[in-house]
């Protein structure tokens, strides 16, 4: 009789546990990161009776999370790639929208400038046409500045985004380390049973962290997560969280970069090429590969335009018979000394041929008693040796080296980064426009003006290979193509994430229809065991009544 009652009670307890699990699944349906749970039942130990081994009902061995580590890792890898592509595409599309504007674009302003110059060539002695050219020149310079400022503002926004990302990473790392500690302690208290709700919270935090910066998870004995960034830097080690810092770059203090906080060595800058996944990786890739290239191409165009126009303008004569002067002011190359340099060397740079200057920054480093120059846009490196005067020339630039370098000293050369910010129109008096090629020919001489106009279609003015119009059209086209490619890649990777997410949810997600079915099934199970108990009671009553 006792076996009958015990079996029924074990079934009731198991049914109650299963109903509780099903109801918990249903109530947690909308909780982000929740993993469906299943009540695991097992046979109780049998008892040897007169007729053999007799069953003793059932017991609940645990509540299991429906979790597939393999699919989860695949999903994380896809999510961090998707997040990086989406982040980069969102930033790139802003540049694309700005450059492709039809009414306020640089192409429109440049066309207006040369149209005004064409009018002046046809009416070289007309003061109104001369004044109109000055006005169009100012409009062109303002458009250069507006476009450049937009890109500079984006650079600042990248700095802000990096700082925000680092704060989020540190916050997630601290929370995960804290959960590691709680899970470890509670698992010990629970005789090996893990707190499923904390496991879900930890996995959700890892997922959110992974979308900012790609991470890899290794599981220690006891279920503790050790988390490293994809580049190998540890973020979480058991209950200890490592920290990152957003710091000024030693190569360019105007830019924020990511450093690993080491208790002994201090802030160690992480090479940005190692941070290439997650939204942080997308932002850094956008800055180094897209934003820099756009800014440099725009600066190259401005420099080539101003230098070519000034050179030709200086060959002519103005309305007063005086030699032409520079028409435009343009910014000079910038050389940034790495803040970690140990030597006392210095480098200065000037432009010798604006048409030969390339749209790239350079890293100039000293190692093995040799200066090395790396074009950052193409990652090509070549050695240079200063002459007796300390001078070196390449790519339309002349560098002057002074002082004594130490191994691993480095500089960043930015030939055109400040070209536009310091651009201006120097001619304010219409009589100073040098349209004539002979100082005695008078105001009607337009031959130098025609030479200025011919610069518009000169195919070797920019980078020694393109005209002004072609260079800008190529920039807009390249940006458009890259944006379209990023959009396609982002969409494709997003579809991969969706597929893997659906696959993961088919295992770990809550299906309300399924849980409703479980409720009915376990309700029937409960009622059946209650009926067994009722039967036992009836038999017991019958035995009592025999007396």
Mean pLDDT (the chain, rounded): 92
pLDDT at 53: 77
Q: Please, which residues have CB within 8 angstroms of residue 333's CB and are 6 or more apart in sequence?
A: 349, 350, 351, 397, 413, 414, 415, 416, 418
- Of 81-95, 405-419, 438-452, least confident by mean pLDDT is 438-452
Short-list 301, 268, 319, 307, CA closest to 436: 319
pLDDT at 356: 94
| Confidence category of residue 539, pLDDT binned at 50, 70, 90 | confident
Chain center to CA of 18: 45
pLDDT at 349: 98
pLDDT at 170 over 90: yes
Tokens of 190: 């629970």
Q: Please, which residues have CB within 8 angstroms of residue 149's CB and are 6 or more apart in sequence?
A: none
Distance CA 361, CA 340 (A): 19
pLDDT at 339: 96
pLDDT at 71 over 60: yes
Predicted model pTM: 0.90
Query: β-strand 225-229 against 215-219: which pairing, if any?
Result: antiparallel
pLDDT at 4: 81
- Of 61-65, 140-144, 484-488, 501-505, least confident by mean pLDDT is 61-65
Helix (H, G, I), strand (E, B) or coil at 407: coil
Q: Please, which residues have CB within 8 angstroms of residue 116's CB and are 6 or more apart in sequence?
A: 129, 132, 133, 135, 136
Q: Please, which residues have CB within 8 angstroms of residue 39's CB and are 6 or more apart in sequence?
A: 14, 17, 18, 20, 21, 60, 63, 64
pLDDT at 265: 86
pLDDT at 481: 96
User: pLDDT, tens digit, for every residue of 196-231?
Assistant: 999 999 999 999 999 999 999 999 877 899 999 977
- Of 307-316, 334-343, 465-474, 491-500, least confident by mean pLDDT is 465-474
User: pLDDT, tens digit, for every residue of 179-196?
Assistant: 999 999 888 776 667 899
Distance CA 223, CA 225 (A): 6
pLDDT at 222: 74
Length of the chain: 547
With 0-12 / 13-18 / 19 or more C-beta atoms within 10 angstroms meaning exposed / middle / buried, residue 351 is buried
Mean pLDDT computed over 355-360: 95
Helix (H, G, I), strand (E, B) or coil at 268: strand
| Confidence category of residue 453, pLDDT binned at 50, 70, 90 | very high
User: pLDDT, tens digit, for every residue of 306-347?
Assistant: 999 999 999 999 988 999 999 999 999 999 999 999 999 999
pLDDT at 103 over 60: no
Percent of the chain scored above 90 by pLDDT? 79
pLDDT at 2: 66
Residue 393 main-chain phi, psi, to 5 deg = -125, 140
| Confidence category of residue 465, pLDDT binned at 50, 70, 90 | confident
Mean pLDDT computed over 36-51: 85
Q: What is the separation, in whole angstroms, between the first and last Cα of the chain?
A: 17
Q: Report the sign of the C-alpha dihedral through residues 249, 254, 258, 260, in that order.
A: positive
Q: Which residues pair with 336 in a beta bridge?
A: 412
pLDDT at 57 over 70: yes
Q: How far is CA 404 from CA 205, 251, 341, 346, 348, in A?
A: 50, 19, 11, 8, 14
> Which residue spans within 7-133 are E strands per DSSP?
37-43, 47-49, 52-54, 58-65
pLDDT at 211: 97
Give the relative orientation of helices 512-546 and 2-27 as an angle to the nearest 10 degrees: 160
| Confidence category of residue 102, pLDDT binned at 50, 70, 90 | low
Give the relative orientation of helices 69-99 and 468-508 as an angle to the nearest 10 degrees: 150
pLDDT at 325: 96
Q: How far is CA 34 from CA 17, 196, 199, 337, 346, in A?
A: 19, 9, 9, 51, 59
> Which residue spans within 196-337 are E strands per DSSP?
215-219, 225-229, 234-237, 240-241, 244-248, 256-262, 266-269, 328-329, 334-337
| Confidence category of residue 538, pLDDT binned at 50, 70, 90 | confident
pLDDT at 459: 65
């Amino acid at each position: 009789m006792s076996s009958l009652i015990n079996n029924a009670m074990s079934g009731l307890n198991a049914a109650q546990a299963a109903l509780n699990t099903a109801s918990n699944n249903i109530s947690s349906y909308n909780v982000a990161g929740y993993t469906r749970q299943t009540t695991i039942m097992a046979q109780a130990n049998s008892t040897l009776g007169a007729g053999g081994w007799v069953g003793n009902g059932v017991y609940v061995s645990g509540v299991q999370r429906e979790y597939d580590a393999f699919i989860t890792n695949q999903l994380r890898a896809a999510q961090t790639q998707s997040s990086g592509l989406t982040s980069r595409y969102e930033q790139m599309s802003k540049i694309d929208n700005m450059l492709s504007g039809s009414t306020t674009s640089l192409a429109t302003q440049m066309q207006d400038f040369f149209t005004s110059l064409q009018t002046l060539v046809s009416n070289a002695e007309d003061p109104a046409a001369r004044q109109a050219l000055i006005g169009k020149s100012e409009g062109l310079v303002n458009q250069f500045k507006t476009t450049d400022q937009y890109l500079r503002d984006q650079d600042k926004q990248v700095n802000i985004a990096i700082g925000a990302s680092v704060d989020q990473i540190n916050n997630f790392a601290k929370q995960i380390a804290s959960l590691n500690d709680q899970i470890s302690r509670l698992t010990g208290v629970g005789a090996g049973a893990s707190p499923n709700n904390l496991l879900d919270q930890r996995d959700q935090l890892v997922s959110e962290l992974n979308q900012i910066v790609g991470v890899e998870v290794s599981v220690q004995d006891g279920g503790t997560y050790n988390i490293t960034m994809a580049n190998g830097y540890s973020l979480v080690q058991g209950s200890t969280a490592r920290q990152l810092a957003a710091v000024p770059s030693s190569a360019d203090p105007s830019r924020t970069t990511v450093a690993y906080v080491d208790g002994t060595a201090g802030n160690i800058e992480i090479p940005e090429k190692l941070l290439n996944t997650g939204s942080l990786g997308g932002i850094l890739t956008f800055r180094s590969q897209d934003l820099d290239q756009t800014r440099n191409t725009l600066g190259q165009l401005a420099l080539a335009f101003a230098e070519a126009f000034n050179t030709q303008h200086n060959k002519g004569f103005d309305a007063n018979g005086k030699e032409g002067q520079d028409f435009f002011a343009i910014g000079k190359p910038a050389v940034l000394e790495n803040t970690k340099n140990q030597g006392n060397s210095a480098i200065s740079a000037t432009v010798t041929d604006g048409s030969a200057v390339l749209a790239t920054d350079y890293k100039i480093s000293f190692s093995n008693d040799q200066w090395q120059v790396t074009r950052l846009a193409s990652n090509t490196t070549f050695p240079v040796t200063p002459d007796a005067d300390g001078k070196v020339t390449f790519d339309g630039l002349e560098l002057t080296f002074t002082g004594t370098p130490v191994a691993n000293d480095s500089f960043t050369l930015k030939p055109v980064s400040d070209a536009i910010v310091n651009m201006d129109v120097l001619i304010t008096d219409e009589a100073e426009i040098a349209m004539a090629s002979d100082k005695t020919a008078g105001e009607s001489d337009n031959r130098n003006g025609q030479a200025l106009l011919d610069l518009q279609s000169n195919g070797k003015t920019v980078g020694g290979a393109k005209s002004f119009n072609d260079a800008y059209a190529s920039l807009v086209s390249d940006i458009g193509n890259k944006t379209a490619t990023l959009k396609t890649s982002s969409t494709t990777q997003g579809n991969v994430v969706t597929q893997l997410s659906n696959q993961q949810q088919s295992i770990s997600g809550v299906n309300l229809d399924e849980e409703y079915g479980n409720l009915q099934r376990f309700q029937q199970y409960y009622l059946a065991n209650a009926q067994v108990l009722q039967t036992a009671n009836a038999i017991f009553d019958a035995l009592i009544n025999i007396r």
